[in-house]
Amino acid sequence: MATHNDTGSWGETKASAFLTEKGFEIIEKNYRYKHMEIDLIAKYKKMLIFIEVKTRSGTGFGMPEEFVNYTKSRLIMKAAEHYIFDKDWHFDIRFDIVSILILPNGDLNIRHIEDAFC
């Protein structure tokens, strides 16, 4: 597996733990529909949240959350639409980003961006 895939998987694990501590219930990891993928799907109260996790070890090309572009957000929404209909969900939904920046000293800067796109 490529290093960036290892970093991404590691970041998703860190994001899951971070969100669980905040009271989120992670119900799906790496949900796939056709060629689309949603990193995490969580429930919080009566809300279903689709979460894209971006992990980077530097800001040379921008902050991690800046890598969720228009095309990526549309693919996530399309997969989410399938999930919503498949599970017959009738409550609110939201699209979030968890941005993880690995600092030079090894510490993490984790940002949870709610309602990141729609």
Specify the residue for token string 């699209």. Answer: 95
The count of structural domains within the chain is: 1
Looking up residue 28, the CATH number of its domain turns out to be 3.40.1350.10
Q: At 104, phi and psi to the nearest 5?
A: -55, -30
pTM of the model: 0.92
**Does 102 reside within a domain?**
yes
**Does 118 reside within a domain?**
no
**Does 98 reside within a domain?**
yes
What is the Cα–Cα distance from 70 to 52, expressed in whole angstroms?
13
Encode the chain (118 residues) as per-residue pLDDT tens digits. 345 567 788 999 999 999 999 999 999 999 999 999 999 999 999 999 999 999 998 877 888 998 999 999 999 999 999 999 999 999 999 999 999 999 999 899 999 999 998 7
**Does 38 reside within a domain?**
yes
**Does 40 reside within a domain?**
yes
**Does 53 reside within a domain?**
yes
For residue 55, what are the β-bridge partners? 100
Rounded alpha-carbon distances, angstroms, from residue 97 to 12, 83, 86: 11, 18, 23
Question: Closest Cα partner for 100 from 91, 110, 92?
Answer: 110
pLDDT score for 5: 64
